[in-house]
Chain A
Amino acid sequence: MDWHQLWKIATAEDNIPITALLGLVPFYTWYGLRQAFANDRLIAQLEANPEMAKTHHRKVQPYKPGWAKEIHVWPFLLRIELLAAIIVTAILMIWSITLNAPLEEPANPNLTMNPAKAPWYFLGLQEMLVYFDPWMAGVVLPTLILAGLAAIPYVDANPLGAGYYTFRQRKWAILTFCFGFIGLWVAMVIIGTFIRGPGWMWFWPGATWDHNRLVFEANRDLPDLFGITSMWAKGLLGVTVLGLYFAAAGYGFHKLFTGSEFNRKIYQRMNVFQYVTLQALLILMMLLPVKMVFRLVFRIKYVLITPWLNI
């Protein structure tokens, strides 16, 4: 256990935000879900008691008859904003006084940094480079992430849960988003920061970043497993396997999505374009974890091989 190495990585100035993320993301996930569960208890109560549903103010926040439903922005909101600004300024001041922004040696194209890392917020993309070629990891997948995020309001046909925390009424949406945001994005950033060392090799926390380490990983392509050498056959096999993946994943998501009574109701409300977009985005998102398993468990590099592109 190399505590010094661990300390060096965790306290590198530019890694402080990720160290902060380690605390902030779990905290806010808990904070949001805590209120979701509080609302869910209220929803269960109201569903069990229709009389109560008619008269209740339907929030977990306290309310008594006679209380004004609205309050003045000045001073009740503005004082909070001022306070927030002061607190953020104080945090920034202390942070800036105690920690210096990193400055390395002057740029030198002849001296490659090892590891050469992207800014921390793009480490998720850099980590994807392990599993996909740059055109996928650096261009297509980021585009899909943005397109997928933008599509969320248009493919989410569930009318419940607008403007309040809830888990019960939006299980599917919340689990999917948390999987993408925490499992595939934040986790990859953390791996890229704390675990990837020289040569972008995997170093468990506490392992020494050995610049001379060699890893003998005999990565193979899928067609190699079957002894296929012809380019045409390779392409055909790849397309078939990808096609099978799309079909299987699509079927799996369909089963999963229509698995509950409530989701079937939502499914009924969706039009064909919404559903196809949702399916396409989910299938493409799952490409990453599936490819990770292929790579890490079966040591397979490419599935589809063509003269123009490899996946």
Chain B
Amino acid sequence: MPEGSGNGKKGLAALLDKERLQTALQALKAKFQEDSKAFQKPTKTDLFKSIYRVKHDETPRSRALGVLTNVFLHLHPAKINRDAVAYNYTWGMGGITFYLFIVLTFTGTLLMFYYHPSKVVAFRDILYLEHDVPFGKLLRNMHRWAAHLMIITVWLHMFRVFLTGAYKKPREFNWVVGVILLLLTHLLSFTGYLLPDDQLGFWAVTVGTNMARATPLLGHDGPLGPELGMTAFNDVRFALLGGSIVDSNALLRSYIWHCIAIPIVISTFLVVHFWRVRKDGGISGPAPVVLESEIKPERKL
């Protein structure tokens, strides 16, 4: 502050001078009005541009960039066949399956906050979840029903892909990846079955893993298993359960497979699956029909 301003007053008195205060306030108001004009066009602000990277307007280029420059959407192409959005072609089952996977990851993570994979408290945790945790029952219900629904949508997705011949050249390998995902989806659901540690899960897993002891060569009850030295304490069932009976180790193993190992593996295969959909030329159809007379002679090696 230059010397001598403020009508000769000094210190606190100068700061509280009415006139000066008014001038300063007016300047601030003018600046506020000027700067807040930016809110009328939020898309022009540096903040907005820093988040979205490209302009968004009604031009085809902008619509394409909106998909291509977004990490969540970039698995989509910018444009697709006009008929490919027809529900009667895709049934939407693959997409719904993936959405259910996201729902399951979300609800599953929340469930993990309330659950200990220990024989002592696992069942009590479920009771606690059902009766004391706010929305705990809804959370558990949703996790279970989404899991069941996901199995159904995976089956129907496979059925649709088969019926449309979408596994044919050049998509053969992606079908194989899909079969692996089908298996992993079932294993994911199965490993979750034991976690409530109730009679239902216990006996279902007992039935399931009893089959493992009959594995040929690797199970102590399977063909040629005993001949190879398999016992209840070193065979494939023992490896699955971490013991010879379904007990605390089985609970822990099933928890780790369910919450960590299989989700990581399945996510990896999902990435490959989606990536291959794009690399193999996008969604398979609806393609123009080909007539029998137009079959090209096959190429021999």
Which of chain B's residues have a CB closer than 8 A to the CB of A156? 167-168
Q: Is the CB of A77 within 8 A of B80?
A: yes
Q: Find the A residue at minimum CB distance from B176.
A: A150
Q: Least Cβ distance of A175 to chain B in Å?
A: 12
Q: Is the CB of B216 within 8 A of A96?
A: no
Q: Is the CB of A70 within 8 A of B81?
A: yes
Q: Find the B residue at minimum CB distance from A166.
A: B289
Q: Find the B residue at minimum CB distance from A97.
A: B138
Q: Least Cβ distance of A267 to chain B in Å?
A: 12
Q: Least Cβ distance of A110 to chain B in Å?
A: 11
Q: Find the A residue at minimum CB distance from B87.
A: A80
Q: How distant is the Cα of A278 from the Cα of B137 in the complex, in angstroms?
A: 48
Interface residue? A153 (CB, 8 A): yes
Q: How distant is the Cα of A150 from the Cα of B162 in the complex, in angstroms?
A: 12
Interface residue? A85 (CB, 8 A): yes
Interface residue? A183 (CB, 8 A): no
Known: A24-B156, A69-B82. A134 touches B214 (CB 8 A): yes
Q: Is the interface of A mostly helix, strand, loop or mixed?
A: helix
From B6-14, B38-46, B204-212, B253-261, the one touching the partner chain is B204-212
Interface residue? A215 (CB, 8 A): no
Q: How distant is the Cα of A32 from the Cα of B100 in the complex, in angstroms?
A: 23
Interface residue? A116 (CB, 8 A): yes
Most chain B CB within a 10 A radius of its CB, from A74, A85, A97, A154: A74
Which of chain A's residues have a CB closer than 8 A to the CB of B117? none
Q: Is the CB of A104 within 8 A of B198?
A: yes
Query: Is the interface on chain B under 10, 10 to 19, 20 to 34, or 35 or more residues?
Result: 35 or more
Interface residue? B86 (CB, 8 A): yes
Interface residue? B241 (CB, 8 A): no
Q: Is the CB of A59 within 8 A of B76?
A: no
Q: Is the CB of A119 within 8 A of B215?
A: no
Interface residue? B17 (CB, 8 A): no
Q: Is the CB of A146 within 8 A of B295?
A: no
Interface residue? A218 (CB, 8 A): no
Q: Least Cβ distance of B42 to chain A in Å?
A: 19
- 1/0 per residue, CB under 8 A from B, across A40-63: the answer is 001100110000010001111100
Q: How distant is the Cα of A53 from the Cα of B219 in the complex, in angstroms?
A: 60
Q: How distant is the Cα of A169 from the Cα of B168 in the complex, in angstroms?
A: 14
Known: A70-B80, A96-B142, A135-B223. A108 touches B199 (CB 8 A): yes
Interface residue? B277 (CB, 8 A): no
Q: Is the CB of B169 within 8 A of A92?
A: no
Contact of A138 among B214, B224, B292, B296 (CB under 8 A): B214
Interface residue? A8 (CB, 8 A): no
Q: Is the CB of A80 within 8 A of B85?
A: yes
Q: Is the CB of A138 within 8 A of B212?
A: yes
Q: Least Cβ distance of A38 to chain B in Å?
A: 10
Interface residue? A100 (CB, 8 A): yes
Closest A-B pairs by Cβ, 7 of them = A138-B211, A163-B287, A163-B285, A58-B288, A107-B202, A134-B214, A153-B172
Query: Can you give 7 A-B contacts (C-beta < 8 A)?
Result: A28-B159, A84-B96, A84-B99, A100-B141, A117-B204, A118-B204, A135-B215
Please give the residue numbers on chain B whose beta carbons come within 8 Å of chain A beta carbons, in ascending order: 60, 63-64, 66-67, 73, 76-89, 91-92, 95-96, 99-100, 103, 123, 126-127, 130, 137-138, 140-146, 148-149, 151-152, 155-156, 158-160, 162-169, 171-173, 175-176, 179-180, 182-183, 186, 189-190, 193, 196-204, 206-208, 210-216, 219, 221-224, 227, 245-246, 284-293, 295-296, 298
Task: Other than A74-B66, A77-B84, A308-B227, give 4 A-B pairs with Cβ distance below 8 A.
Answer: A46-B291, A70-B79, A122-B208, A173-B162
